[in-house]
Structure 1
Amino acid sequence: MKFKDGYWRMRPGVRGDYATAAHDVTAHPGGLRVLAPTKPITRRGDTLDGPVLRLDVSSPMPDVIRVRAVHLAGSVPAGPAFALREDPGGTPVKIEVDDAAATLTSGALRVTLGRAAPWDLTFSAGGRTLTRSGAKCLGAMRDGDDRHFMVEQLHLSAGELVYGLGERFGPLVRNGQSVDIWNEDGGTSSEMAYKNVPFYLTNRGYGVFVDHPGRVSFEVGSESVSRVQFSVEGHELSYLVIHGPTPAEILRRYTALTGRPALPPAWSFGLWLSTSFTTDYDEATVTSFVDGMAERDLPLSVFHFDCFWMRRYRWCDFEWDPEVFPDPPGMLARLKERGLRVCVWINPYIGQASELFEEGAAAGHLLRRPDGRIWQDDHWQAGRALVDFTSPAAREWYAGKLRRLVDMGVDAFKTDFGERVPTDVAWADGGDPERMHNYYSLLYNETVHQVLAERRGPGEAVLFARAATAGGQRLPVHWGGDCESTFEAMAESLRGGLSLGLAGFGFWSHDIGGFEGRPDPEVFKRWIAFGLLSSHSRLHGSGSYRVPWLFDEESVEVLRAFTRLKARLMPYLYGAAVQAAREGMPMMRAMHLAFPADRGCDHLDAQYMLGPDLLVAPVMSAGGEVSYYVPDGEWTRLLDGTTVSGPGWRTETHGFDSLPLLVRPGAVLALGARRDRPDYDYADGVTLRVHALPDGTRRTVAVPGPDGGDAAVFEVSRTGNRLSARRVAGDAKPWNLELAGSPTGPRAAGAGTDLIEITTTVKE
């Protein structure tokens, strides 16, 4: 939200009262309390009339500093609030106060408040200024409608770039953009987003999390080109500055605060096939799809039933439509006999025609207006109401309906919607409607995820969720939402996923081929490669089926090749998934996150790192032309073993069975022995493929087990022209050592704790 008209003047009707100095400073064991008047104080009479801002400065964990500014404390709503994981014993901080300044130091991060005018609040680390709030930056604002806002502006240095703010479909660098943190069902081609997160990070070595669950309005180098402005309606503004110094370390600290993803089960990384949205289907249709996949030797892991598994007008009543699915338990059992998992679509709305409407209304489980009437409208489902997840009883009621489905054989839920949340309502817990709008998605997905963890076990719970906010990363997986079936939509989907990863979301997916419309075969085949080289992979659409043989026979071959490739990559990919769960590093990583020192990576948003060692550049053209950037070193093309050197740009043409897929120099890639499924014993027959390992280098490679622990650990080293590998942990199972080359290079096999060595001419 913009308050100024240019640099000098306020917009019509806007009044701003800005902090002028840290006039009164009180130190206490946990931090500082500061009174900041909004006019110069030169005599006692100046202390009368006008706003005074109260600041509390503290540290929830090392290298993180919180600033909480309050104008009228009695007008601050009680909730909801994000649950942040602070150090239980308190964070050791160093506080210094003298006549000139007050400082608080946490780890390497320091904040300094100048006590004299003009206002100065400076964050620094290692003697270097990261950012600061200066004159006319922190203030209390009123607009022409007498609405009250709190605002802060943090300075941007020359060349400083801003990333993040959740799922955004435009350019990855946020500079020059206006962004409202407000969940909307707006597709993937506008400024709206399903997953909004009030957190950004910059290439200056810090991130900022605005601790407000409602609407946060960001002006990123837009109202003032040298500042990031953020504002919230109301009388309180709380934000945390998080020191890195690298973007990866910033993400680790941010996710330590807001939560890290649960580890999804290994089977969820396989191929998901959907009925699609508005298509006609019954059990015979489902069976024909599953048979068709098996007949064509296409590995399939999950079958998903979209909306019309339930009766029309009755979403959601969680009852199978008896006209098309007369025997749900039997059908699910038959799918399970074929080794498939089952996902079903749900949302948090209750259509008026559903029997659950009267049941929920009578029990008080549906959201109400301030006058006590149930909130309803006719969007999506006629007379729809919304489950009030702020009520523990309503959450248990909703969970009970899901438990019956899980006990019937359902393994996962697609938790659609959760963005169309009204504000002219009264929540059961008395929560503020504006703050609840985004936060609702967290309560909704948390309720469903808990049911699966309770019934299937914590390691078996997985969602396919659309809406989210800060903390939602704890409840994977999320997908990109409703996009068109074009190359342009493919690009915007990728930008949205990479941006979401920069908000700590470790797992992400998208509709292969796009959602709206029927993709051309060229789009579908190119999207297959992108989809199978994503964290999670789903064939889904709107009004048309997404089985590959309906496009052309080459689509079948492309899907087979990339599904098998992903299965072989699972020891490596599941290792990256474990890292996401442990450290908050996303599986799909923006190039700047992986190579922050390489300025060539700063603006890249059409390629990514899949885990730490694989570079993926999806082809977004029918003819196969693709340009991509290669960071420094000799990289190996995974698909043919040839090499390409960086740094620099490459322009290539690829067939439908190929794309730029490069292995990082020095990587030891763990490849599995199976290509027919994603969930198997990764340590049994694993191949360690070594790529341009420098002389005198030693690598430790952990092969994960199904619980995320280490099933086997190997040490790989190079001395001169000799490669050596030794198993240092794990059961005595066969394993292989392989030198990357064209096509595969020298290879040796071993078992037990045997040492494997390869002597050859190693190319530098």
Structure 2
Amino acid sequence: MKFTDGYWQMRPGVSILQPKDIDGFERDGDDLVVHAPTSPITSRGATLNRSSLTIRLSSPIENVIGVSIAHHLGSADQGPVFELADENPSVRIETPGSGDAVFASGALEARIGAEGPWRLDFVADGRVITSSDARSVGAIQTPEGAYVREQLAMGVGETIYGLGERFGTFAKNGQSVDIWNEDGGTASEQAYKNVPFYLSDAGYGLFVDHPGAVSFEIGSEAVSRAQFSVPGQELTYYVVYGATPKDILERYTALTGRPAEVPAWTYGLWLSTSFTTNYDEATVMSFIDGMAEREIPLSVFHFDCFWMRAFHWSDFVWDPAMFPDPQGMLARIKAKGLRVSAWINPYIAQRSHLFEEGRKLGYLVRRADGSVWQWDMWQAGMALVDFTNPDAVRWFQDKLRALLGDGVDAFKTDFGERVPTDVVWHDGSDPKRMHNYYTQLYNKAVFELLESERGEGEAVLFARSATAGGQHFPVHWGGDCESTFVSMAESLRGGLSLGMSGFGYWSHDIGGFEGTPDPAVFKRWVAFGLLSSHSRLHGSDSYRVPWAFDDEAVDVTRQFTRLKMSLMPYLARAAREATLRGTPIMRAMALEFPGDRAVSGLGTQYMLGESILVAPVFSAEGDVDVYLPEGQWTQLLTGETVTGGSWRREKHGFDSLPIYVREGSVVPFGAETGGPEYAWADGVTVKLYALPDGYDQTIEVPGGTGAATEFRVRRQGSEISVTAGAGAGSWNVDTGGTAHTHSGPGTLTVALADGGSSSGSD
């Protein structure tokens, strides 16, 4: 929200209170409280009829400093609230007689001038990373109500990322962003996954601790400042320090939650019925058998909305006309080695038998007069499950538990954005604060059911909506996109933006959702989709089986599915980073190469894990521009080596795209390509890419269905040695096109000078 009329004036009807003086510091336990009158205090009489802002500094975890700015502190304490970590770190507080007051957590310091006007500097590594000055803080009154605003300084060349899954320009500079979940598709400024967190390449992240509406003006009101505001009398934000962007995400996800581990089978190819298409068991089986006949590995089959009867969503009852024997059908699908996903949502149509049941039990969201909230958008007379009621959560989970008993393995948790604000929640939550937070309760209820029934590490969603903390309940997909190259590109920007917001996994509808892609769009999107963390073929009113397009589409789907399956040892290692550090599998270039100014704002390519660069092709002709940072890069598909540090214009057929491996990389390739579930270390090929002299690293190849194995890789001059640890089976080393084989624990030595002669020892 914008409050000013240019630099000097407020907009008509808007007034602002700002800190003009400092009237003392108080230590309250491990917090520092600052009293900041909104007029200079020149005498005792000047303390009368004056406003004062109360500013509290705290630290929930090391290297994170919270700032709460309050005008009046007597507001009702209504939920919901984000679940944040509180590790009670050691802090350093200095309250001077003169000079600056200091509040420090780890390597991050907040310095406040002891005398007015207001000045707050955040300092790390001996430099000010951002600051708030006398024009930044404001308690604002508008015709619409009260707001609290803060502005943090932006430096020359500073770039801002994140704020959830946003589909516009990847760098958020110059944008106005409202944190308010909407079902707006990928072609609008609205977003399904709004996260009040941004990451700055100046060395910090910024999280606004408010689950409702938050308005950001990123250099779009005051061009030198990142502004954020919330309605009401109080604003709390956290500055998150990290030496690198990855460190910032590690700290932020330590505060709000890390992505959970997902099962191996989810990395395989998912195939959907699509949305409004006609399908029954015969159709489903023809798709599954068609993939097998064409030797395209398939891992998951997804049933979209019309597995239930029209006008009955959601009642979780299979349409008997289309699926007279659902349990038998699921058993037949699973006998072919597949998992099953089923579409659900939290909306209960009036015609659903669950509507009357939920109404009588009080499990549906109500209006102030006690009536059930209903409308006719999406489903006739639909209501909304009240997940603030623990009994309603158990009731909803019990309905899904029956489907798990039938053989369903995962749920696509669709919707969760169209949440009304003129309602009363069971737990008394503020309906405006609940609008964005509802999706957190919805996805949590489903994820925790799967975890309790399937075990830790075996739960997975395919979720559309989210807010801060939603990264703990993966996977999320990009929502409704058009079947065009433009929409393919906007989907990628959305996924990279979500990754900069703490989410580790992301997917999208291969081929696009709205409309039917032409064969060129489908084939280009297939390559991109199978080089994403999770891969699903899904559409709206047309099928996405590759043979519906042309024979080449079948070949391309087979090729890239098999490539992804061979990368399972590598992807599993990247997934571990997501779980342990909050680093996404699909990484914006700015996340992996923070010192390279050429990648600032670059949203047309990405790193898949730390080593593999992917540049999707957004044209039928195959022309693509790709930027390679400095160093030697190897084309993964051809073995060609090129020198980076510049842009390249390339042309690719449908069976290719720019996939480059950076120098100094060790990439494990699995021996199987028929699916994601196999013993990843058994028969693994350890490929070495331009390792520097003196390289000495130990990498672990995760086990999959077998045992994990450690490989120590060393280079001394022209000789490379790879040593496999205990429990190793058969393994290979590839230094550039020639594989050398070893079996069991031991060392394999390759002499590079003579073209790769090798010897082995136990």
Post-superposition shift, 1:159?
Answer: 1.4
Residues 330-358 of structure 1, C-alpha deviation per residue, up to 9 Å, x if partnerless? 00000010000000000000000011000
What amino acid does structure 1 have at the position aligned with 2:655? D
In 2, are the aligned partners of 1:71 and 1:140 still within 8 Å (CA)? Answer: yes
Residues 388-443 of structure 1, C-alpha deviation per residue, up to 9 Å, x if partnerless? 00110111100000000011100000000000001011110001111111110100
Select the residue among 711, 714, 717 that pairs with 1:714.
711
Q: Distance in 2 between matches of 1:219 and 1:90?
A: 32
Aligned to 1:739: 735
Aligned to 2:9: 9
Residues 582-603 of structure 1, C-alpha deviation per residue, up to 9 Å, x if partnerless? 1100000000000000011112
In 1, are the aligned partners of 2:22 and 2:117 still within 8 Å (CA)? Answer: no
SS of the aligned residue for 1:93 comes to strand
Post-superposition shift, 1:694?
Answer: 0.7
Residues 268-309 of structure 1, C-alpha deviation per residue, up to 9 Å, x if partnerless? 000000000000000000000001001000100000000000
Aligned to 1:62: 62
**1:755 to 2:753 alignment:** no
Select the residue among 540, 545, 548 that pairs with 1:547.
545
In 1, are the aligned partners of 2:159 and 2:601 still within 8 Å (CA)? Answer: no
Post-superposition shift, 1:652?
Answer: 0.5
In 1, are the aligned partners of 2:91 and 2:103 still within 8 Å (CA)? Answer: no
Residues 241-282 of structure 1, C-alpha deviation per residue, up to 9 Å, x if partnerless? 011121110000000000001111000000000000000000
What amino acid does structure 1 have at the position aligned with 2:104? T
Aligned to 1:611: 609
In 2, are the aligned partners of 1:12 and 1:144 still within 8 Å (CA)? Answer: no
Post-superposition shift, 1:718?
Answer: 1.1
Post-superposition shift, 1:182?
Answer: 0.5
Aligned to 1:352: 350
Post-superposition shift, 1:699?
Answer: 2.1
Select the residue among 328, 331, 339 that pairs with 2:329.
331
SS of the aligned residue for 2:163 comes to strand
In 1, are the aligned partners of 2:96 and 2:114 still within 8 Å (CA)? Answer: no
Residues 47-98 of structure 1, C-alpha deviation per residue, up to 9 Å, x if partnerless? 12232111110111111100011222121433111111121x4433343433
What amino acid does structure 1 have at the position aligned with 2:313? W
Note the 1:507-586 alignment, pairs <5 A.
Answer: 507-586=505-584
What amino acid does structure 2 have at the position aligned with 1:279? T
Aligned to 1:138: 137
Select the residue among 720, 724, 728 that pairs with 1:727.
724
Change (3 A) 1:710 1:121: farther
In 2, are the aligned partners of 1:21 and 1:114 still within 8 Å (CA)? Answer: no
Aligned to 1:591: 589
Select the residue among 241, 244, 249 that pairs with 2:242.
244
In 1, are the aligned partners of 2:315 and 2:352 still within 8 Å (CA)? Answer: yes
Q: Distance in 2 between matches of 1:97 and 1:84?
A: 31
Q: Distance in 1 between matches of 2:254 and 2:19?
A: 31
Aligned to 2:759: none
Note the 1:309-708 alignment, pairs <5 A.
Answer: 309-706=307-704
SS of the aligned residue for 2:364 comes to coil
In 2, are the aligned partners of 1:299 and 1:563 still within 8 Å (CA)? Answer: yes
What amino acid does structure 2 have at the position aligned with 1:329? Q
What amino acid does structure 2 have at the position aligned with 1:306? D
Q: Distance in 1 between matches of 2:435 and 2:204?
A: 28
Change (3 A) 1:401 1:102: same
Q: Distance in 2 between matches of 1:148 and 1:94?
A: 32
Residues 514-569 of structure 1, C-alpha deviation per residue, up to 9 Å, x if partnerless? 00000000000000000000000000000000000010000000000000000000
Equivalences, count: 756
In 2, are the aligned partners of 1:748 and 1:757 still within 8 Å (CA)? Answer: no
Note the 1:4-403 alignment, pairs <5 A.
Answer: 4-87=4-87, 89-145=88-144, 147-403=145-401
Q: Distance in 2 between matches of 1:4 and 1:58?
A: 30
Identical positions, percent: 59
Mean alpha-carbon deviation: is it higher for 55-64 or for 581-590?
55-64
Q: Distance in 2 between matches of 1:467 and 1:227?
A: 29
In 1, are the aligned partners of 2:259 and 2:473 still within 8 Å (CA)? Answer: yes
Q: Distance in 1 between matches of 2:670 and 2:754?
A: 24
Give the TM-score taking structure 2 as reference length. Answer: 0.98
What amino acid does structure 2 have at the position aligned with 1:717? R
What amino acid does structure 2 have at the position aligned with 1:92? V
Mean alpha-carbon deviation: is it higher for 754-763 or for 639-648?
754-763
Q: Distance in 2 between matches of 1:59 and 1:291?
A: 56
Q: Distance in 2 between matches of 1:107 and 1:699?
A: 29
In 1, are the aligned partners of 2:217 and 2:227 still within 8 Å (CA)? Answer: yes
Change (3 A) 1:499 1:468: same
Give the TM-score taking structure 1 as reference length. Answer: 0.98
Post-superposition shift, 1:762?
Answer: 8.3
Q: Distance in 1 between matches of 2:498 and 2:200?
A: 15
SS of the aligned residue for 2:27 comes to strand
Mean alpha-carbon deviation: is it higher for 540-549 or for 121-130?
121-130
Post-superposition shift, 1:21?
Answer: 2.6
**Displaced runs of 4 or more, over 2 A:** 89-101, 760-764
Residues 353-388 of structure 1, C-alpha deviation per residue, up to 9 Å, x if partnerless? 011000000000000111211100000000000000
Q: Distance in 1 between matches of 2:76 and 2:149?
A: 15
In 2, are the aligned partners of 1:271 and 1:302 still within 8 Å (CA)? Answer: yes
Post-superposition shift, 1:696?
Answer: 1.4
Mean alpha-carbon deviation: is it higher for 13-22 or for 312-321?
13-22
Post-superposition shift, 1:128?
Answer: 0.4
Post-superposition shift, 1:763?
Answer: 9.5
Post-superposition shift, 1:116?
Answer: 1.5
SS of the aligned residue for 2:680 comes to coil
In 2, are the aligned partners of 1:299 and 1:676 still within 8 Å (CA)? Answer: yes
SS of the aligned residue for 1:600 comes to helix
Q: Distance in 2 between matches of 1:637 and 1:211?
A: 44
Q: Distance in 1 between matches of 2:495 and 2:443?
A: 19
Q: Distance in 2 between matches of 1:727 and 1:711?
A: 11
Residues 671-714 of structure 1, C-alpha deviation per residue, up to 9 Å, x if partnerless? 0000000111101101100000011111221111349x971110
- Give ranges in structure 1 of 5+ residues lacking alignment: none
Q: Distance in 2 between matches of 1:256 and 1:248?
A: 12
- Give ranges in structure 2 of 5+ residues lacking alignment: 757-762
Q: Distance in 2 between matches of 1:683 and 1:480?
A: 32
What amino acid does structure 2 have at the position aligned with 1:126? D
In 2, are the aligned partners of 1:194 and 1:419 still within 8 Å (CA)? Answer: yes
Q: Distance in 2 between matches of 1:184 and 1:430?
A: 23
Q: Distance in 2 between matches of 1:93 and 1:582?
A: 28
Q: Distance in 2 between matches of 1:420 and 1:483?
A: 18
Q: Distance in 1 between matches of 2:703 and 2:739?
A: 24
SS of the aligned residue for 2:708 comes to strand
Q: Distance in 1 between matches of 2:460 and 2:97?
A: 53
Question: Aligned Cα RMSD in Å?
Answer: 1.3
